[in-house]
Amino acid sequence: MLTRTEIEAVRQRARDAAQTIIGRSGLRPRVAMFLGTGHSEFVRQLTDSTTVRASDIPEFPSGVESSTMIVGNYNDLPVIVADAPLAPYLGVTGLELAFPVRVFRQMGAEILVMTAGAAALRPGVVPGSIGIVEDHLNFTTLNPLVGHNDELLGPRFPDMSEPYDPTLRQIVREIADDAGFPLVEGVFAAIQGPSLPTRAEYRHLRNTGADFVGMSTVPEVLAAVHAGFRTVALLAITQYVDPVAPEPTDLESMVDAADLAAPRVSSILSGFLDRVGKS
């Protein structure tokens, strides 16, 4: 558990890292993105881009040192794009999960966009479709806000009644509808992994209200809301799991579904930033 001195040191490190990235890129991003799906398709659209490796910035903790960040412009809107959200099963701590979020906030970003793969538990949701997170259930055992709170990072008890911004979600729904992409809004359950749920656990997740299940995203969202971000999260649906009678996972089919969803996610991200850039 972090002490007052340690969390204040975290704030200073985040500020120093932010200034380093700004100095190298010459940009202060308005939008920060963790892209697990649609990453390669989207970053090709950036101009004046600079690649920054976390391992080159001493302030970044060891758990995220392999991360790569790309700072650039999307139609004159400055953005920073990071690798996929880290999964708790990698053994990372809440501090490590939260640190990039805090750096991006120190850089001036106001909106956080996240994408990840997930399985659907709701009947009728087909692989390759897009999920938008309305709310979440945190079964990762990680909360990055545990320990002493620094009010300069965010409030001690951040309100989580609506962690996913309703206006941003509406923008995504409109873009997907205009494009004809299948999109489903629902509750995302984040589990620790790396083992997949058992049959009983799938039933439990569905009974608790989960429409989707995956192994990332939620800890970063907790840190983002704490820091004052407006947040939106998209899911690439890689499979449907029948909670009553789940079948063994077919990895090849999951890859095919992810390949189908990735350009859809990238298209939605582009339309989303077009709308955000005009606001």
- What is the pLDDT at residue 24? 95
pLDDT value at residue 9: 87
Alpha carbon distance 22, 16 (integer Å): 10
Going 54 to 60 to 66 to 70, the CA torsion angle's sign is negative
14: domain CATH number? 3.40.50.1580
State how far the Cα of 227 lies from the Cα of 229, in Å rounded to an integer.
6
The maximal CA–CA distance of the chain, rounded, in angstroms, is 54
Q: What is the pLDDT of residue 93?
A: 86
Q: Who's near 120: CB < 8 A, 6+ residues apart?
A: 127, 129, 131, 184, 211, 212, 237, 239, 240, 241
Would the pTM count as exceeding 0.85? Answer: yes
Average pLDDT over residues 184-193: 96
Structure confidence at residue 27 (pLDDT): 96
Domain span holding position 151: 4-278
Residues 252-264: what's their mean pLDDT? 85
List of residues 6+ apart from 34 with CB closer than 8 A: 82, 83, 84, 85, 100, 112, 113, 114, 115, 217, 220
Is pLDDT at 47 greater than 90 in this prediction? yes
Per the structure, how many domains does the chain have? 1
CA–chain centroid gap for 12, Å, is 24
Decide if 83 contacts 100 (C-beta within 8 A). no
Categorize the per-residue pLDDT at 1 as very low, low, confident or very high, splitting at 50, 70 and 90.
Answer: low
Report the DSSP pairing between strands 230-240 and 130-139. antiparallel
pLDDT tops 70 at residue 186: yes
Segment 150-163, tens digit of pLDDT = 899 999 999 999 99
**194 prior amide bond cis, ω within 30:** yes
pLDDT at residue 26 is higher than 90: yes
Average pLDDT of span 73-94: 89
Quote the CA–CA distance of 130 and 65 in Å, as a whole number. Answer: 30
Pairing of strands 77-82, 111-120: unpaired
SS3 127: coil
